[in-house]
């Protein structure tokens, strides 16, 4: 047993952060007990650690050597880290100590779940304790402070106060962007809305369009304009230029009044209502649909409901970085154990809001050096203002979720993986099975995705019952997905034989330079049907334009 007490039974006032920290404290205690139970292993680790530290001291101060090549670590890329012995020692001693601490985690006798959580906890601790994060041990920040006469420190302090007022670390110059002006600028109108969503129809850019439209479903925990940032990297505009009539679901940034909305509401009022509205407006026999991340999970659930109700109005489905099978979810698993889910359910059973800031913070700490500490150093120690970057503006524009919907989602997917089990869930009054979704599917995953590991995306593709085309892109969750065809960047892998083993699939896959968008466009075209004259007017007699795109729902910020 751990020397730390078990966390208390559900405490209404306990925050999610306190719950996670309590779980990490227990894990830390279990790890210490494991090391104490193996004194020979622990002694060997200590001996190697002290030997490494002594060697580094000798090389730096005892018998100084010419500095070698700096480590491939962006935190220590400034030349000052290599030029000055004291700071070189700080760097090398820290890196050696970090290696030893991670080895001590791997050497511990722990079950897989505990070891995964301990790896994460140790990495968070080590990342936070990097000498680059502190003024007195960061030579680059000290040099700039001296050269500026302390001006960088004053600016850094002002940046810190501003971020404390906002409650988050600034990643970009948010004043540089305005929705509808220089992000989310594709022309269109909101043609349908309810308590949960607005549905945007975009204006055509070609004389003829495919008769079947495509409905895009973004993640409910983020704003839709990740697919419409700038004209040159807009997936929306790309589809329109290919002759598709495009509809976009814009999820509401829910407030307390919507705090009792459920998973079924998101399926019925969000997915099904939007698909039906797009079909009616275009008078098409069917529509195509695309889901991104959690939007794909919701979309697949909605399609399963339609199949159960014998209401099949979708011709094809595209899923981008989407999990349906939640066995392999990566490091986010450390946040979502049985205890955490039980407590969150108890707290949210009567309704309430899960702040977007809470969700955004969890994802940021999965890549803490890139998404947290680099900005701490830049903004506070060096007194710099982050540059204007549309992607990071979107990343900071988080969305609230209603408590019952969130609790249902994390229990039935991340914790119990019921969505992947045929008829294990009843949604909108019917048992659902992803295997009954027989329509053609295009499934995209990103090889370096830290939110949806690509092998989890591969297994998710195998949950569907129809023909599946699986494509793997280079880079991560966002950069791999939003990779415009015109840029010719990165590459992707394809293999017509899906099989059952993701690694074997990759070994037999062909790598193609450039974006996967072109390949997907060719796949999608036949499902669009015949070409017809583009409609000049948006909406129809029953779905008249309500307001111009991007609409008011997306402009509500979760501060």
The CA distance from 329 to 452, in Å, is: 6
Question: Could you tell me if 225 and 251 are in contact, meaning their C-beta atoms sit under 8 angstroms apart?
Answer: no
The one-character DSSP state at 398 is: B
Among the options 221, 290, 293, 425, which is catalytic? 293
Q: Which of 553, 556, 555, 548 is nearest to 190 (CA)?
A: 548
Tokens of 40: 């020979």
CA distances from 94 to 79, 137, 202 (A): 17, 11, 53
Question: Could you tell me if 321 and 444 are in contact, meaning their C-beta atoms sit under 8 angstroms apart?
Answer: yes
The CA distance from 201 to 247, in Å, is: 5
In the residue annotation, 293 being an active-site residue is answered as yes
Reduced to 3 states (helix: H, G, I; strand: E, B; else coil), residue 292 is strand
How many CA within 13 A on the CB side of residue 191? Answer: 29
Q: Any idea which residue has 């998404």 for tokens?
A: 371
The CA distance from 401 to 261, in Å, is: 9
Collect all residues with Cβ–Cβ distance below 8 Å to 399 and sequence separation of at least 6: 220, 221, 222, 223, 251, 253, 254, 356, 558
Quote the Cα angle for 419-420-426, to 5°: 35
Q: H or E segment at 440?
A: none
Number of other CB atoms surrounding residue 484 within 10 Å: 18
The CA distance from 198 to 545, in Å, is: 11
Active site residues: 293
């Amino acid at each position: 047993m751990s020397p730390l007490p078990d966390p208390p039974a559900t405490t209404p006032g306990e925050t999610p952060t306190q719950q996670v920290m309590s779980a990490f404290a227990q894990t830390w205690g279990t790890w210490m007990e494991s090391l104490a139970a193996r004194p020979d292993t622990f002694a060997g680790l200590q001996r190697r650690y002290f030997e490494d530290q002594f060697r580094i001291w000798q090389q730096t101060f005892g018998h100084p050597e010419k500095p070698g090549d700096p480590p491939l670590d962006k935190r220590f890329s400034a030349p000052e880290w290599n030029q000055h012995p004291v700071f070189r020692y700080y760097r090398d001693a820290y890196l050696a100590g970090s290696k030893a601490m991670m080895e001590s985690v791997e050497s511990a006798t722990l079950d897989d779940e505990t070891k995964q959580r301990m790896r994460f906890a140790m990495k968070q601790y080590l990342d936070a304790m990097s000498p680059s994060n502190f003024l007195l041990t960061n030579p680059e920040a000290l040099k700039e402070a001296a050269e500026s006469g302390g001006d960088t420190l004053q600016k850094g302090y002002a940046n810190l106060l501003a971020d404390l007022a906002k409650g988050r670390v600034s990643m970009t110059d948010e004043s540089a962007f305005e929705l509808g002006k220089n992000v989310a600028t594709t022309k269109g109108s909101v043609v349908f809305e309810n308590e949960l969503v607005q549905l945007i129809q975009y204006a055509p850019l070609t004389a003829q369009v495919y008769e079947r439209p495509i409905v895009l479903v973004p993640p409910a925990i983020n704003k839709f304009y990740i697919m419409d940032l700038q004209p040159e990297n807009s997936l929306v505009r790309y589809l329109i230029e290919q002759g598709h009539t495009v509809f976009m679901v814009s999820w509401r940034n829910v407030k307390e009044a919507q705090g009792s909305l459920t998973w079924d509401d998101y399926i019925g009022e969000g997915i099904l209502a939007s698909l039906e509205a797009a079909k009616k407006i275009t008078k098409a026999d069917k529509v195509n649909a695309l889901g991104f991340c959690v939007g794909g999970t919701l979309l697949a659930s909605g399609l399963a409901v339609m199949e159960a109700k014998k209401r099949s109005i979708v011709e094809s489905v595209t899923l981008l970085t989407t999990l349906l099978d939640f066995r392999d979810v990566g490091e986010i698993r450390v946040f979502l154990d049985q205890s955490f889910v039980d407590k969150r359910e108890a707290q949210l059973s009567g309704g309430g809001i899960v702040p977007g800031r809470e969700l955004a913070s969890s994802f940021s700490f999965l890549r803490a050096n890139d998404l947290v500490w680099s900005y701490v150093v830049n903004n506070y120690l060096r007194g710099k203002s982050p540059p204007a970057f549309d992607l990071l503006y979107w990343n900071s524009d988080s969305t609230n979720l209603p408590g019952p919907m969130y609790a249902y989602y994390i229990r039935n997917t991340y914790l119990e993986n019921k969505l992947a089990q045929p008829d294990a869930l009843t949604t909108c009054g019917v048992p659902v099975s992803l295997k009954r979704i027989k329509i053609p599917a295009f499934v995209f995953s990103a090889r370096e995705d830290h939110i949806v590991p690509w092998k989890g995306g591969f297994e998710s593709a195998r949950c569907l019952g129809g023909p599946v085309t699986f494509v793997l892109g280079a880079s991560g969750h966002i950069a791999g997905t939003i990779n415009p065809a015109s840029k010719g960047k990165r590459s992707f892998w394809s293999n017509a034989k899906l099989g059952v083993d993701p690694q074997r699939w990759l070994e037999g896959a062909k790598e193609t330079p450039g974006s996967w968008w072109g390949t997907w466009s060719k796949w999608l075209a036949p499902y669009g049907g015949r070409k017809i004259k583009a409609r000049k007017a948006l909406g129809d007699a029953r779905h008249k334009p309500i307001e111009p795109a991007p609409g008011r729902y997306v402009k509500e910020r979760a501060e």
